[in-house]
Amino acid sequence: MSDAESNPAVSNWQIMRALIAKDWRFFRVPMIALLITGTGCYTVAAVAIFFLHPDPREYELLCHSSVLAINLTGLLASVLGGMAIAVERSERTADFVGLLPVSRSQIVLSKWLVSIFMLGACAVINAVIALWLRSPGGFIS
């Protein structure tokens, strides 16, 4: 009897880790796109503030850009949901995963954990920036 057969918790963890690694690899491209578009929102606002209109009251644009970046994060959530199905179909990994001793709940949980981590991190970062800009010690009073 092998170690994996005698201790099913170890094999379940190894399976979940492999599923999470696979989903992380699939979701890297939209995550990079989210980082680029989010950074682009802040870049456009910073260029407008510092080069076009160097007025301290224009820092409100940074707050608006953080709200826009949060909305883009929500929009990308639907892209990640679609990719979760489309990439599995195109690469035929859904058929392969169907042959493994993996339950449907483990597959859904791994996709959910990866997307919540990625989207949640971006949403929290943008929300913290927006709250910091609005705080008494921030740029916008």
Task: Let me know the angle formed at the C-alpha of 81 by 80 and 87, rounded to the nearest 5 degrees.
Answer: 75
- The 10s digit of each residue's pLDDT in 32-70 is 888 888 888 888 888 877 777 766 666 777 778 888 888
Distance CA 109, CA 70 (A): 24
Distance CA 103, CA 16 (A): 10
What is the arithmetic mean of pLDDT over 11-38? 81
pTM over 0.85: no
Between residues 17 and 89, the one the model is more confident about: 17
Within 27-103, where are the H helices? 28-47, 60-90, 93-99
- The 10s digit of each residue's pLDDT in 109-129 is 888 888 888 888 888 888 888
